[in-house]
Amino acid sequence: MIIKSASLDVVCGVTSVLPESDMPEIAFAGKSNVGKSSLINSLMNRKSLARTSSQPGKTQTINYYNVNKQIFLVDLPGYGYAKASKSEKEQWGKMVDRYLHSSSALEAVFLLVDIRHAPSENDKMMHQWIVSNGYEPIIIATKLDKIKRSQIPKQTKLIRTGLHLPADTRMIPFSATSRQGREEIWKIMENVIAGEGAYGNHSGQEAGV
């Protein structure tokens, strides 16, 4: 897909009213420093459009990125930052819960997990949360360039086992450096834009492996 326009259109805080739109939405969830901003910037061919914070865990807004006036990429607040206060963690939880419950335009959820490590307790909680809200998350295994190619099968299996994923759950290893996995992610987004749904026919095989 050719990116003709990409902009940060809406920023929602704890008390903000979530926007209503006739455009489909795809949400991105993941812990702090998992690479959500890098992924979104890569998808949009921009270096710094997606917001980042100088202090991990401090970004507490839901950011809506308008791509080609066809789809919203919705960046959910990063979770799991150890130094975040209890009130900050509760604030994050309320925002994400409200979004998952309230967005009538949400078509798919990407859950980002660091391919180098087994899923954390927060990753497991987020996965269960997404499933409990009626969505089948697509797993994006980030930081692919940080491991050897020979390690990919072992690490993706570690994630599948850690999250207790069904065999047909789609997982896409992704590198913001090499952009491996970008086209697979865009194909899903193009399906959503075309009204064909995010999941379609696929096997549980990892893309690009």
DSSP label of 19: P
Separation CA 208–CA 83 (nearest Å) = 36
pLDDT for 6-63, tens place per residue?
999 999 988 888 998 899 999 999 998 899 999 999 999 887 787 655 555 556 789 9
- pLDDT at 85 exceeding the cut of 80: no
Residue 51: predicted pLDDT:
61
Q: In terms of residues, how long is the chain?
A: 209
Burial 101-120 (b: 16+ CB within 10 A, else e): eebebbbbbbbbbbbeeebb
Where residue 207 falls among pLDDT bands split at 50, 70, 90? low
Q: What is the pLDDT of residue 208?
A: 47
Global pTM reads 0.90
**Helices 36-43, 182-193: crossing angle, 10 deg rounding:** 70
Select the more confidently predicted residue: 203 or 193.
Answer: 193
The answer for residues whose C-beta is within 8 angstroms of residue 145's C-beta and 6 or more apart is 175, 176, 177, 178, 180
Residue-wise pLDDT tens digits, 118-164: 999 999 999 999 999 999 999 999 999 999 999 999 999 999 999 99
